Structure formats: C-alpha cells, structure tokens
Amino acid sequence: MEMKSLYEYLGRAAGSELGKQVATAAGRANVKITSHHVENAKYTGTILKYPVSFLNEYFGAAVETENDSLPF
C-alpha cells in the first residue's frame, strides 16, 4: 500500500488546519496512519503518512484506471 504525507500528495505544505481535518477524517474512517520523524532545511518534526487511496477519496481525485490509458 502506497503511503504519502500531505506534502508529498499535494506538492505543497498543507498547513496545520488542513492537516488536522485530514487526520480527523482518517481516524473516523479507521484508516491506518504512519508517523515519521523528518529533519530538513524547511521542517523538523513528525509527519503523518496516509494511504494514497484514502487521500484520493478525501480530496476527490479521480483514480486512474487501466482504461484511462486507451487511445480511444
């Protein structure tokens, strides 16, 4: 199962309010969340990672299927 942080998924910092909303929704849905400690020039602390399938559903992204790659 592919897991991503909100930063990885959105391509930008999500901010604390959106982070709280996503974490709350994941908890209510009994979604597995993993935490990791990161240290880099812009951020040091703990990040949460969510299954990409949950993030797709939460943010309403279309899930790519094999049929989407057909030329017709």
Instruction: Give the residue ranges of DSSP H helices in 1-72.
Output: 6-10, 16-28, 52-59
Q: What is the pLDDT of residues 28-48, one digit of tens each?
A: 999 999 999 999 898 899 999
50/72 Cα distance (integer angstroms): 34
For residue 41 the two structure tokens come to 């020039």
> Could you tell me the two tokens for 66?
């094999």
How far is C-alpha 67 from the chain's CA centre? 24
pTM: predicted TM-score of the whole model, two decimal places: 0.78
In a domain, 70, yes or no: no
pLDDT of residue 43: 87
Which residue ranges in the chain fall short of pLDDT 50? 62-67, 72
Rounded to an integer, what distance in angstroms lies between the CA atom of residue 70 and that of residue 57?
24
Q: Is residue 68 part of a domain?
A: no
Measured CA to CA, the distance from residue 14 to residue 32 in angstroms comes to: 19
Q: According to the model, what pLDDT value does residue 54 have? A: 96
Number of domain units in the chain? 1
Range of the domain at 40: 3-62
